[in-house]
Chain A
Amino acid sequence: MILRTPETESADRLDRLSDLLSPIVIKEVRQMVRGREFNYSFTLSVVAGLLVALYTGMYATTGTEDYGVGIFAALMACLTVVGVVIAPMGAFNALRNERMERTLDLVTVTTLSPRRIVIGKLMAQAVKLATLFAALAPFVAMSFLLGGIDFLTIVLSLAAVFLWSLWACAAALFLSCLSRSRAISGLIFGGMIILLLFVIGTGGMGFFLVRTVTYGPGYGGPPISSAFVTGGTDLWWGLAGMTLVCVVSMVNLILLAENRLLLPTEDRSTALRIGFFVQFLLIIGVAVFQVSSRPTYLASLFANMLGVLGGLQLAGVALFSVTEELVLSRRIHLQNKNASGWRRYLAIFRPGGARGAAYILAQMALFLAVGAVVLPISGWEFSWLVAICGYICFFTGVPACAGRILSPRPLKPVHLRVGALLLFPVATLLPDFLVYLVTGDFGGIYSLRHVLDPIRTLSAWSNPTTTPWHFLSLGLGVIGVASYLILIRMGRRASSANETAH
């Protein structure tokens, strides 16, 4: 007979509860608590907390000032290092090791999908972060008791650091999937750490993040809670916007990592395209919201914001979508064919058949419709938005189209992407270089040859010297759109041939 003690019963209960968690989280946490990295991080966090408390505590006993704010700022510095350096390093290594040790294949053949694997790795880092934050919790409570800092500031600052730390972990997970080579992976890792240190050095601590939203640079002024009371809803909207941007971009980073882990024969595009479409809608939404709540004279500022952010997003997404494979793998073909219910309406987000070009054109139409209808902007500002779309079409569509038509062998997407990336510097630098070779003078004045340079042309769109050449920029756009349409036609033909073959 097996004796059931309260301990065994609670262990059984916990074991049953653990079924609700991702297997990846359980494995990672088991490995983490035995690993040196976590134990060192935990110990260092506690030691740092103790030092801060002792140092500030000595002064607190001698005076009447509110020392809590100083302690809290120092603790936030520690937490930021933990959140933006240590946790992302752990995330990067977790997935990189899985690929390097080839255990990822073993997990892939189970019923866990790559998305669940990535989310599991991220959640494991969330557990690690929560534990390290908890280690500093007594010192944070001490800062509150010493005065000078209010509860809302503490909660918002901790939440912001936690959320952006998770974002950094998601970015690290994506970066760890970029290369299978140990050397390149190491280089990426080193680059990521330098970038993160740069972000910490220039961006300040999480504490200042929230306070900057409230007061601007520096950490003077009254507690944030009073600012929220006096500052109206704007501050809350600001925070909500920041949180939304963080969450949406974090989801896209997860989807990017998933994209890298999926086999090329799987549908790697649909979820990612939906994610980036939502991000695009968010950019438009923020622009429209800001315009509606601001004076009219600020409208052009937000039109600029929409143009720059929306344009950059569209350009990045277009580079990958327009150059995708036209022919589908059998598995995706079957999935597309068997799509039923609401999934049928996702056709434009699916891969293959040059749907990527249609997906970009649809977003451009939305982009321009918002510019024309919702934003109170002038004709030239609207033409600027049109030119942005035109340049994107030209620099992504023309190389993709030319590569497919002119190459005797079918080119891989990566070749087309490299072609598009090379066209950009060639188009922007070569004309000036040739002029220099002939005349010995670069000639700083904007002229006809600079029409091919989108950055120069678009940044000086309102300048009268560029105006005579606007029609040429728009002409390039027409060529770009035409190449998109040719791609769509090629894609439809390839799809039909594929259909027959399968």
Chain B
Amino acid sequence: MNGTILEVDALVRSFGGLRAVDQVSFSVGKGQVLGFIGPNGAGKTTTMRILATLDLPQGGDARIDGVSIVEYPEQARRLTGFMPDYAGVYVSTTVAEYLDFFARSYGIRGAARRKSVDGIIEFMGIGDIRDRPVESLSKGLQQRVALGRAIVHDPQLLILDEPAANLDPRARIEFRTLIRELAADGKTVLLSSHILTELSEICDEVAVIERGRILATGTVQDILRGLRRHRILSLRLAVSNAAIERFLLEQPGVLKVHDAGDSGRWQFEFDGADDAQAALLQRLVSAGFPVLEFTAQDAGLEDLFMKITEGRVQ
């Protein structure tokens, strides 16, 4: 990790008797995109609001580039760009005026302000709509403007709560590209979304939260590897051969072989490292089985999500 920008340490937030956020800890490095996933009511938005200094934790702290959100919220706000799950537009305000207002609100003055607004408009590719009222724009464009607003003061950390909600596929893809560009530019991004396939494409790492507790953090594959004791391998033969099942079960490390349904495709659990997997393939070929495919099953974020969470809400 290239230096930690966000360090969350044992955050606690209760509402009455309900622990919405319970000892939440994780960290994100510079230029990383962390996906924050969990079912509804898991504590994602509360955590994000705490990090955006819109709420205060009852316990724990978070540091943004070393600045405590509890002790120095004003300083933390300068380092953070927050985009909630709604665009938040003003009526009778053009795109340029909207961004200008937020630049002024962050204390950016004179030429620096004009440069910042123009830069954002160019980066977001919204030059042709700069004089259009924000409320007249489509949802996708409003989200773009909202993202522009969140980065108008050049923050180090971006907190995006469900930014792609209600967007059409094209707008979603464009939005994803923008976020990757921001990360490439050195911005750290904390992002929540319900669209898990999308998160897996943007995020370097994920943090899974349920009932206010962090269940797992890391890359999707690392978490899955930690969850599964065995890898699942898939094998496809050019010609179907019933002897393969018996052969596989005789091999060291092979467990639970079953026919995957397609002609000549088999799946089995394998308890072994990469070298053992390579040796198994060698033995299959040496035994004369016409191997067409031999792959470890690539589990996605949805698989991980379903495995980790229990679907319980508070």
Structural contact, A265 and B56, CB atoms closer than 8 A: yes
Pairwise interchain contact B92-A106, C-beta atoms closer than 8 A: no
Residues of B within 8 A of A331 (CB): 56, 70-71, 73
Query: Which of A26-34, A192-200, A351-359, A435-443 participates in binding chain B?
Result: A26-34
Q: Tell yes or no: B285 within 8 A of A by CB.
A: no
A95 → chain B closest CB, angstroms: 13
Which residues 71-129 in B have Cβ within 8 Å of A in the complex? 71, 73-74, 77-78, 80, 82, 84, 86, 88-93, 97, 101-102, 104-107, 109-110, 113-114
User: What residues of chain B lie closer than 8 Å to A23, measured between beta carbons?
Assistant: 101, 104-105
- B181-194 interface code vs A (CB 8 A; 1 in, 0 out): 00000000000000
Any B CB within 8 A of the CB of A101 = yes
Task: Collect the chain B residues with CB atoms within 8 Å of residue A107's CB.
Answer: 105
State the total of A-B contacts with C-beta under 8 angstroms. Answer: 78
Q: Does residue B142 face the partner (Cβ distance < 8 Å to A)?
A: no
Q: With A109-B77, A334-B71 in contact, is A103–B90 under 8 Å at CB? A: yes
Q: Report if A111-B92 is in contact (Cβ < 8 Å); known contacts: A23-B101, A23-B104, A331-B56.
A: no
With A27-B97, A102-B86, A331-B73 known as contacts, the answer to whether A110 contacts B102 (CB < 8 A) is: yes
The answer to whether A30 touches B52 (Cβ under 8 A) is no
Determine whether the beta carbon of A26 is less than 8 Å from that of B70: no
Query: Could you tell me if A109 and B78 are in contact, using CB atoms closer than 8 angstroms?
Result: no
Q: Nearest Cβ distance between residue A170 and chain B, in whole angstroms? A: 22
Q: How does the 8 Å CB contact mask read for B56-72 relative to A, with 1 for contact and 0 for none?
A: 11100000000000110
Residues of B within 8 A of A330 (CB): 56-58, 70
Are the C-beta atoms of A110 and B56 separated by less than 8 Å? no
B149 contacts the other chain (CB 8 A): yes
A26 touches which of B88, B92, B104, B109 (Cβ 8 Å) = B104
B174 interface hit (Cβ, 8 Å): no
Classify chain B's interface size: 35 or more
- Cβ–Cβ contact B70 & A111, under 8 A: no
Q: Which of B70, B77, B93 contacts A31 (CB 8 A)?
A: B93
Take A23-B101, A31-B90 as given contacts and tell me if A108 and B107 are in contact as well, using a CB distance cutoff of 8 Å. no
Evaluate contact between B55 and A106: CB separation under 8 angstroms. no
CB contact between B54 and one of A31, A263, A329 (< 8 Å): that residue: A263
Q: What CA separation (Å) do A330 and B153 show in the bound complex? A: 28
- Which A residues are in CB contact (< 8 Å) with B82? 106, 109
Using Cβ atoms and an 8 Å threshold, which residues of chain A touch B217? Answer: none
Given known pairs A109-B54, A109-B77, A263-B55, the reply for A19 and B109 (CB within 8 Å) is yes
Return chain B residues, CB-CB under 8 Å to A31. Answer: 90-93
B53 partner residues in chain A, CB cutoff 8 A: 109
Residue of A whose beta carbon sits closest to that of B114? A15
Q: Please, how many residues of chain A have a CB less than 8 angstroms from a CB on the other chain?
A: 27
Main secondary structure of the interface of B (DSSP, over half): loop
**What 0/1 readout, one digit per residue, does chain A (6-29) give for beta carbons within 8 Å of chain B?**
000000000110010001001100
B80–A109 touching, CB < 8 Å: yes
A295: Cβ under 8 A from any B Cβ: no
* A105 x B77 contact (CB < 8 A): no
Q: Is A127 at the interface (CB under 8 A from chain B)? A: no
Question: Is B88 within 8 A of A102, CB to CB?
Answer: yes
* Complex: A137 Cα to B77 Cα, angstroms: 45
On chain A, the residues within 8 Å of B88 by CB distance are 101-103, 105-106
Q: Compute how far the CA of A123 lies from the CA of B92 in the bound complex, rounded to whole angstroms.
A: 19
How far apart sit A21 and B92, CA to CA, in the bound complex (Å)?
20
Q: Does A35 contact B (CB under 8 A)?
A: yes
CB of B216 to closest CB in A, whole Å = 29
| B107 with A263: CB separation less than 8 A | no
Q: How far is the CA of A105 from the CA of B105 in the complex (A)?
A: 13
Q: Within 8 Å CB of A101, what residues of B?
A: 88-90
Chain A 108-130 interface residues, beta-carbon cutoff 8 Å to B: 108-112
Nearest Cβ on chain A to B62's Cβ, whole angstroms: 13
Please judge, given known A-B contacts A111-B107, A263-B54, whether A26 and B74 are in contact too, CB under 8 Å: no
Contacts A19-B109, A331-B56, A331-B70 given: A110-B90 contact, CB under 8 Å? no
Whole-angstrom CA separation of A329 from B73 in the bound complex: 14
How far apart are the CA atoms of A263 and B114 in the complex, in Å? 32
Subset of 11 A-B contacts with CB under 8 Å: A27-B101, A103-B88, A106-B88, A109-B53, A109-B54, A109-B80, A110-B77, A110-B105, A111-B107, A263-B55, A331-B70
11 further contact pairs, Cβ within 8 A, besides A23-B104, A30-B93, A108-B54: A26-B101, A105-B88, A107-B105, A109-B82, A110-B102, A111-B106, A330-B57, A330-B70, A331-B71, A334-B70, A334-B71
Shortest beta-carbon contacts, A-B, top 3 = A23-B104, A265-B56, A110-B105
Hey, which bits of chain A sit against chain B, CB under 8 A?
Answer: 15-16, 19, 23, 26-27, 30-31, 34-35, 101-103, 105-112, 263, 265, 329-331, 334
